[in-house]
Structure 1
Amino acid sequence: MLRLSALALALLPLMAQADNPETLTERSNTRAREVLDATVAAMGGAEAIRGVKGVRLTLEGETWPRMQMPTPEAPFEAGRSKEVLLLDLAGNRLNLETSNSGAGFEAHNRTVLKNGEGTNYDYRARVATPIPVAQSSQQQLVQYQRRLPNLILRQALDRQNSLRYLGEDTYAGAPHDVITFVMPDTQQVAVYVDSKTKLISKYELAFTDPLAGEEASEVLFGDYVDNGNVKVPRRWEFRQAGEAVSRFDAKVEINPAITDASFEVAAEGFTKAQPVPNELPQRVEKLGEGVYVFHNGAGQNQNTLAVAFKDYVLAVEAPGSSGGAENVMRQIKETIPGKPIRYVVMTHHHGDHIGGLRGFIAEGATVVTTKGNRNVVETMAKAPQNDRLGKSPRAPEFLFVEKGRRVITDGEQTVELIDVGPHPHAREMLVAYLPKHRVLFQGDLFFIPNNDAPVGPPQEGTLAFARFLKDKKLKVDKIAAVHGRTVTIEEFTQATENATKSASR
Structure 2
Amino acid sequence: MRNVFLLFFVLVFCLSIGVRAQAPDYYLPAFTKAISLVVDGMKALGGEENTKNIKYLYIDYTGQKYMDGQSVSFNKDNVSLPFQNTVVVDFEKDRVVNEVVNRFLGGYIFHFRSVYTDSSAFSYEVPQMRFSGVTNLSLADKNVVKNDVILRNLPNYLLKAALDKKLTLRYLGLKEEGGENYEVVAFPYNTTLTLDLYFDPSSKLLKKFEFFTDNIIHGNQRLSYQFSDYKDFNGVLFPQVKTVTSNGKLVRKEFASTIIINERKGEALFVKPVQYGASEILPFATKEIGKNIFMLEGLSGYNPLILNFKDHLVLVEAPAAAQEAIAIAEKKFPGKPIKNVVITHYHEDHAGRLDCFIKKDIPIITTPDNVSYIRHLTQAQHSLFALGIENKKPVVETFVGSKTLQDDSLQVQLIDFGPNSHAQELLVLYFPKEKILYQADLLISTDKGGLVKPLIPVNFELYQQIKKHKLKVETIYGVHWKAVKFADFENAIKAQTPQAKINSENTRS
User: What TM-score does the superposition give when structure 2 sets the normalisation length?
Assistant: 0.80
Number of equivalenced pairs: 465
Q: Which residue of 1 aligns with 2:366?
A: 369
Change (3 A) 1:241 1:283: farther
- Give 5+ residue unaligned stretches, structure 2: 1-28, 503-509
- Deviations along 1:150-192, one digit per CA (max 9) or x if unpaired, are 23234444x5279443834654443342333446xx8736142
Q: Which residue of 1 aligns with 2:313?
A: 313
Match of 2:229 among 214, 223, 228: 223
Preserved CA contact (<8 Å) 1:191 1:200: no
Residue 454 of structure 1: how far off its partner (Å): 7.0
Q: Which residue of 1 aligns with 2:398?
A: 400
Residue 378 of structure 1: how far off its partner (Å): 0.7
Distance 2:139 2:484 in 1: 27
Preserved CA contact (<8 Å) 1:72 1:349: yes
Q: Which residue of 1 aligns with 2:416?
A: 419
- Deviations along 1:389-446, one digit per CA (max 9) or x if unpaired, are 336x4212221121x2111223442221111111101121111112223222221122
Change (3 A) 1:77 1:504: closer
Match of 2:278 among 274, 280, 285: 274
Task: Please state whether the residue corresponding to 1:80 is helix, strand or coil.
Answer: strand
Q: Which residue of 1 aligns with 2:83?
A: 81
Task: Please state whether the residue corresponding to 1:374 is helix, strand or coil.
Answer: helix
CA RMSD of superposed structures (Å): 3.4
Q: Which residue of 1 aligns with 2:74?
A: 72
Match of 1:90 among 59, 70, 92: 92
Q: Which residue of 2 aligns with 1:435?
A: 432
Match of 2:215 among 209, 219, 233: 209
Change (3 A) 1:486 1:242: farther
State yes or no: 1:49 paired with 2:51.
yes
Match of 1:178 among 175, 185, 199: 185
Change (3 A) 1:453 1:54: farther
Distance 1:211 1:455 in 2: 31
Preserved CA contact (<8 Å) 2:447 2:482: yes
Task: Please state whether the residue corresponding to 2:259 is helix, strand or coil.
Answer: strand
- Deviations along 1:30-78, one digit per CA (max 9) or x if unpaired, are 6654443232222221111222223232322322121111122236332
Q: Which residue of 1 aligns with 2:255?
A: 249
Change (3 A) 1:98 1:362: closer
- Give 5+ residue unaligned stretches, structure 1: 1-26
Task: Please state whether the residue corresponding to 2:76 is helix, strand or coil.
Answer: coil
Q: How does 1:123-138 map to 2 (within 5 A)?
A: 123=127, 125=129, 129-134=133-138, 137-138=141-142
- Deviations along 1:348-387, one digit per CA (max 9) or x if unpaired, are 1112211111221221222212112211111112222434
Letter in 2 for 1:227: F
Q: How does 1:141-156 map to 2 (within 5 A)?
A: 141-142=146-147, 143-156=149-162
Q: Which residue of 2 aligns with 1:238?
A: 244
Letter in 2 for 1:396: P
Letter in 1 for 2:364: V
Q: Which residue of 2 aligns with 1:39?
A: 41
Preserved CA contact (<8 Å) 1:232 1:252: no
Change (3 A) 1:261 1:84: closer
Task: Please state whether the residue corresponding to 1:328 is helix, strand or coil.
Answer: helix
Percent identity, please. 23
State yes or no: 1:382 paired with 2:379.
yes
Distance 1:272 1:59 in 2: 27
Q: Which residue of 1 aligns with 2:121?
A: 117
Q: Which residue of 1 aligns with 2:461?
A: 464
Q: Which residue of 1 aligns with 2:4?
A: none
Letter in 2 for 1:336: F
Letter in 2 for 1:193: Y
Change (3 A) 1:405 1:71: same
Q: Which residue of 1 aligns with 2:197?
A: 192
Letter in 1 for 2:184: D
Change (3 A) 1:296 1:114: closer
Change (3 A) 1:162 1:123: farther
Task: Please state whether the residue corresponding to 2:145 is helix, strand or coil.
Answer: helix
User: What TM-score does the superposition give when structure 1 sets the normalisation length?
Assistant: 0.80
Task: Please state whether the residue corresponding to 2:496 is helix, strand or coil.
Answer: helix
Task: Please state whether the residue corresponding to 1:284 is helix, strand or coil.
Answer: strand
Residue 28 of structure 1: how far off its partner (Å): 7.6
Q: Which residue of 1 aligns with 2:477?
A: 480
Q: Which residue of 2 aligns with 1:9?
A: none
Distance 1:318 1:119 in 2: 27
Residue range with higher mean Cα deviation, 72-81 or 421-430? 72-81
Distance 2:150 2:359 in 1: 38
Preserved CA contact (<8 Å) 1:384 1:390: no
Letter in 2 for 1:190: L
Change (3 A) 1:165 1:310: farther
